Amino acid sequence: MGRDLKLSILLLTLSSFASWFLSTLAGGGTPLLLVPAIAFFLGAPAVPPVLTIGMLLGHPQRVFLYWKEINWLLMWWYLPGAVVGAILGAFAFTQIQLNWLPIFLAVFLIISAIARVAMKKFGLFRYDLGIFCLLALSLRLFQD
């Protein structure tokens, strides 16, 4: 293992701990904090598999910790959409150019922040099928 790789792993571990701590205080958001760190230390193609493995290893303890509070009826309604969304997300990730991914993510986060403020203040900007179709079209435009 090279010196640069060891240093990258150490800094990524420290970034992961810091994002976990901030996420614990804020009530979530670890992946949003880790995406830039993983992309910087390991490259953009490493972001999805590293986050997926980390979340698979990190979230099962929550199931055991909050077993009695789980709303199983809600979970069964949520599960089909989550599976379809994961499949569509994986497909979209294989279709877009990786150099456009940070720009697309930045635009999405800015629009989401504006939408959240507008929804709270004015009751505007409800998400509907048209917005998701627009996002899908924009993904298609950035392809080769």
The reported pLDDT for the residue numbered 142 is 52
Q: How many CA atoms lie within 13 A of 105 on its CB side?
A: 17
The reported pLDDT for the residue numbered 85 is 86
CB distance 98 to 48 below 8 Å: no
Q: How many CA atoms lie within 13 A of 32 on its CB side?
A: 10
User: Which tokens go with 18?
Assistant: 């810091």
CB distance 40 to 11 below 8 Å: no
pLDDT per position in the chain (144 positions), as tens? 567 878 888 888 888 888 878 777 776 777 778 888 888 888 878 887 888 787 777 777 777 777 888 888 888 998 898 899 888 887 877 777 767 777 777 788 788 788 777 777 766 555 556 666 666 666 555 544
The reported pLDDT for the residue numbered 144 is 43
* Residue appearing with tokens 């990190």: 58
What is the b/e burial string over 19-37, where b = at least 16 CB atoms within 10 angstroms of the residue's CB? Answer: beeebeeeeeebeebbbeb
Which pTM was predicted? Answer: 0.49
The reported pLDDT for the residue numbered 134 is 63
Helix runs in the chain, H state only: 3-26, 30-42, 47-58, 60-65, 72-95, 101-122, 129-141
The reported pLDDT for the residue numbered 24 is 72
The reported pLDDT for the residue numbered 86 is 84
Of 109, 115, 107, 113, give the one whose Cα is nearest residue 138: 107
